[in-house]
Amino acid sequence: MTPRVAVILPCYNEEAAIGVTVAGFRAALPDAAIYVFDNNSRDRTAAAATQAGAIVRRETMQGKGHVIRRAFADVEADIYVMADGDATYDAAAAPTLVARLIDEQLDMVVGARASEVDAAYRRGHRLGNRLLTGLLARLFGRSFSDILSGYRVFSRRFVKSFPILSTGFEIETEMSVHALELRMPVAEIVTRYAARPEGSASKLSTWRDGWRILRTIITLFRVERPVLFFGLMSVALVALALVLATPLVVTYLASGLVPRLPTAILVTGLMIVAVLCGFTGLMLDTVVRGRRETRRLAYLTLPGPAPMDTFPQPR
């Protein structure tokens, strides 16, 4: 049985590139259904995608996270290929990514970007990606080499069990954390990354979207690792309280007096808050474990990728 493959291309003002992108994936995956989700484009993106032979859908809520949420809910397939509609990702690598997912029974394969053109991958984005990838590895124990890559292949059970909460470009970070938290079988393949064609402009803001991604990582750290998150807060508060209390204790031992009563009250308050943070982390950890078990059970109710019998081999 040949798996049903769907290519999902979120787009915003990509009239100059979407036709080339659709043609590339059509050549690489001739049996796949190619969906272009137009996110309120002000140019002829939808018309160009239709002319190229794609199935065009529209998502009115602005943001890549909203687009992917709609696509994952509406599109029915066995294998999902996600890429951007700006012709920067190597469509010819799609069969290799799909074959890797099916052969090794994986749930996600990430196309890690390797660019030979400086204009394709700006230094600021490259540095930010390294920093965020390193932070994710420290917080969650393991990571990918390119957590911000928008070129990914998913199994049906990943797509249909993924509770998307992101609204913008932080969606890739949420996908990575979701896979890491549920210990899903995943892989990474290095793929070429090209510069945008003339007339196509990047919608990614280095500082604004970088901050949103960093905020997403911190939020997910708080939600998924409450013992460590609140434990670190508790330790920091205890350390501050001890620093403030040391001269008070020394003075008390020498004279039997507590001359700075407000400081003593502050130290007491800090210690109380530290204890509360510790207990908060422990209680939330119980909630998180129950929620993680529920997500895992929802994930296991869906079958994994079917064995590849007649799927076309990578060229």
217 plus 283 within the same structural domain? no
Q: Is residue 121 located within the same domain as residue 253?
A: no
In this structure, are 177 and 246 located in the same domain? no
Same domain? For 233 and 210 the reply is no
Is residue 92 in some structural domain?
yes
At 20 the pLDDT is 93
pLDDT at 19 (0 to 100)? 93
35 part of a folded domain: yes
Count of structural domains within the chain: 2
Is 95 among the domain residues?
A: yes
More confident residue, 196 or 137: 137
For residue 209, pLDDT over 80 is answered with: no
Q: What's at 125, amino acid-wise?
A: H
Structural domain range at position 250: 226-297
222 φ, ψ (degrees, to nearest 5): -65, -40
Q: Looking at the structure, do residues 125 and 160 belong to the same domain, yes or no?
A: yes
**pLDDT at res. 210:** 66
Q: Dump the DSSP string for the chain.
A: -PPPEEEEEEESS-TTTHHHHHHHHHHH-TTSEEEEEE-S-SSSHHHHHHHTTPEEEE--S-SHHHHHHHHHHH---SEEEE--TTS-B-GGGHHHHHHHHHHTT-SEEEEEEEES-TTTS-HHHHHHHHHHHHHHHHHHS---S-TT---EEEEHHHHHT------STTHHHHHHHHHHHTT--EEEEEEEE-PPPTT------HHHHHHHHHHHHHHHHHHH-HHHHHHHHHHHHHHHHHHHHHHHHHHHHHHS----HHHHHHHHHHHHHHHHHHHHHHHHHHHHHHHHHHHHHHHHTS--PPP-SSPPPP-
Percent of the chain with pLDDT over 90: 49
Whether residue 303 lies inside any domain: the answer is: no
- What whole-number distance in Å separates Cα of residue 42 and Cα of residue 39? 9
Residue 314 lies in a domain: no
Whole-number Å distance between alpha carbons of 288 and 259: 45
Residues 263 and 114 in one domain: no
234 with 164, same domain: the answer is no
Please report where in the chains the tokens 């909203």 appear, as a residue. Answer: 66
Q: Are residues 210 and 252 in the same domain?
A: no
pLDDT tier at 92, thresholds 50, 70, 90: very high
Q: Quick: pLDDT tens for 176-192.
A: 888 888 889 999 999 99
Point out the domain boundary residue: 198, 224, 250: 224
- Residue 177 sits in the same domain as residue 166: yes
Q: Which residues contact 298 (CB under 8 A, 6 or more apart)?
A: 161
